[in-house]
């Protein structure tokens, strides 16, 4: 373990720092909440949507480095929140957060981060930090902010080194809903906000919440479904008791193999009963596990709103081999080489060839690694919600 003598001198005016588990200290200017938080440092290449990123439960126990330098310049508002109490523990940005300049803004980003209990660190060479992650993988670290500029670096280093990391970690219990919820929100329009859902004569989708983004449920409603959201640990018999026409498997944080210890048997039970299934991100990974495939921890992961994905599976007709621009956030992936007979690879990443989609032969069951509800294309992937809901009627 590094001693305090090996730490770099603290620059004048530094009110925040990032302490990596290998003893590296990155100084900067803190904003948002004061205190410290431990997590895995990753990077996100999106130019917009920072508030959605910070409130995405899939980022639980992660510290997000934004590669786009101007984060916070459009402020924050209540409509762009993906979950009320979850998401990334902190973020790292290049430039200081400037006063907001957007007609939809309700709060300054610094103010919103402080109210949300999230720690920010500005004035960091995010390009150098991103290159380090790309070369060496996503490190464990502690992000800290103290307006007085006083830090116990030895204690922060110990905390970073003691944290076990995401591999083997089930984080779903800390981000899932505690009770069943009938989802009532629909499509958003400027000036009107989110519409109310019309449930009349709509197929019923039961969504297993492993740390879901709210916009996924809005897209299911927009595609024509009635949605009931249940906790991620809901038993098979309780899911079936709701008489679903189909079951959605949500995104979420942590290691899919760890969450799969209780979720995979439920998914297998649904497959045996020919219940239509659609999984996104973590849900996609656990659908693959239930079908007999493996998942692996990625070197740096995929996070951003500009990831090209190609359709490679059969049955696409005129859109075969079409490329979608997608939004991604995952540090684990399905091992494409482990897909058993009867499981078809339907999408692949054009960045590294990793698996981005599967379909199970003879079943109405499919999943994608990316986030179609994030609309980075902006509508490249909405067909997936329509495809799923179309299976139910």
- SS3 for 215-275 is HHHHHHHHCCCEEEEEECCCCHHHHHHCCCCEEEECCCCCCHHHHHHHHHHHHHHHHHCCC
Q: Domain 172-391 is in which class?
A: alpha beta
| Residue 151 buriedness (CB in 10 A; 0-12 / 13-18 / 19+) | buried
SS3 29: strand
SS3 10: coil
Q: How far apart are the first and last CA of the chain?
A: 60
pLDDT, one tens digit per residue, over 116-143 is: 999 999 999 999 999 999 999 999 999 9
Q: 82, 281, 324, 356: which is the annotated catalytic residue?
A: 281
pLDDT (tens digit, 0 to 9) for every residue of the chain, 393 residues total? 344 458 989 999 999 999 999 999 999 999 999 999 999 999 999 999 999 999 999 999 999 999 999 999 999 999 999 998 899 999 999 999 999 999 999 999 999 999 999 999 999 999 999 999 999 999 999 999 999 999 999 999 999 999 999 999 999 999 999 999 999 887 888 888 888 877 788 999 999 999 999 999 999 999 999 999 999 999 999 999 999 999 999 999 999 999 999 999 999 999 999 999 999 999 999 999 999 999 999 999 999 999 999 999 887 777 888 999 999 999 999 999 999 999 999 999 999 999 999 999 999 999 999 999 988 878 889 999 999 999 997
Respond yes or no: is residue 371 known to be catalytic. yes
pLDDT, one tens digit per residue, over 196-241 is: 877 788 999 999 999 999 999 999 999 999 999 999 999 999 999 9
Respond yes or no: is residue 204 known to be catalytic. no
Respond yes or no: is residue 82 known to be catalytic. no
* 98: number of Cβ within 10 Å: 15
**CA-CA distance, 217 to 236, in Å (whole number)?**
21
Confidence at residue 353, expressed as pLDDT on a 0 to 100 scale: 96
CATH number of 4-162: 3.50.30.20, 3.40.50.1260, 3.40.190.10, 3.20.20.70? 3.50.30.20
The alpha helices in 313-367, defined as continuous H runs, are none
Query: In which residue ranges of the chain is CATH 3.40.50.880 found?
Result: 172-391
The alpha helices in 123-162, defined as continuous H runs, are 126-136, 153-162
Q: 378: cis peptide before it, omega within 30°?
A: yes
Confidence at residue 316, expressed as pLDDT on a 0 to 100 scale: 78
Which residues does residue 142 pair with via DSSP β-bridges, in sequence order? 19, 38
SS3 89: coil
Query: In which residue ranges of the chain is CATH 3.50.30.20 found?
Result: 4-162
Confidence at residue 236, expressed as pLDDT on a 0 to 100 scale: 98
Q: 40, 82, 324, 373: which is the annotated catalytic residue?
A: 373
Confidence at residue 52, expressed as pLDDT on a 0 to 100 scale: 95
């Amino acid at each position: 373990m590094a001693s305090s003598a090996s730490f770099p001198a603290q620059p004048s005016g530094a009110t925040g720092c990032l302490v990596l588990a290998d003893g590296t200290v990155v100084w900067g200017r803190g904003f948002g909440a004061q205190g410290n938080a431990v997590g895995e440092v990753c990077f996100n290449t999106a130019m917009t949507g920072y508030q959605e990123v910070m409130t995405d439960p899939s980022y639980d126990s992660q510290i997000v480095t934004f590669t786009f330098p101007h984060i916070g310049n459009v402020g924050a508002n209540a409509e762009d929140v993906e979950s009320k109490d979850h998401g990334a523990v902190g973020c790292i940005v290049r430039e200081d957060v400037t006063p907001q300049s957007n007609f939809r803004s309700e709060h300054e980003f610094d103010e919103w981060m402080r109210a949300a209990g999230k720690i920010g660190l500005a004035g960091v060479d995010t390009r150098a930090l991103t290159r380090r992650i790309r070369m060496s993988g996503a490190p464990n670290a502690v992000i800290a902010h103290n307006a007085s500029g006083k830090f116990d670096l030895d204690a922060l280093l110990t905390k970073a080194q003691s944290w076990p990391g995401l591999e083997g970690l089930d984080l779903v219990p800390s981000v899932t809903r505690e009770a069943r919820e009938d989802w009532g929100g629909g499509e958003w329009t400027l000036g009107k906000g989110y519409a109310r859902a019309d449930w009349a004569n709509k197929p019923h989708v039961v969504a297993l919440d492993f740390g879901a983004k709210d916009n996924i449920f809005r897209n299911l409603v927009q595609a024509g479904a009635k949605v009931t959201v249940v906790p991620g640990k809901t038993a098979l018999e309780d899911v079936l008791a709701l008489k679903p026409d189909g079951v959605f498997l949500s995104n979420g944080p942590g290691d899919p193999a760890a969450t799969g210890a209780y979720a995979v048997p439920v998914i297998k039970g649904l497959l045996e009963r020919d219940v239509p299934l659609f999984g996104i991100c973590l849900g996609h990974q656990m659908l693959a596990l239930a079908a007999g495939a493996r998942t692996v921890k990625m070197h740096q992961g995929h996070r951003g709103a500009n990831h090209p994905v190609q359709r490679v599976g059969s049955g696409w007709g005129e859109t075969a081999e079409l490329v979608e621009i997608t939004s991604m956030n995952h540090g684990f992936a399905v091992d494409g080489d482990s897909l058993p007979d009867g499981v078809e690879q339907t999408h692949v990443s054009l960045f590294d060839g990793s698996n981005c989609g599967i379909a199970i032969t003879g079943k109405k069951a499919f999943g994608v690694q990316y986030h179609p509800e994030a609309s980075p294309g902006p509508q490249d992937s909405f067909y997936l919600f329509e495809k799923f809901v179309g299976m139910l009627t």
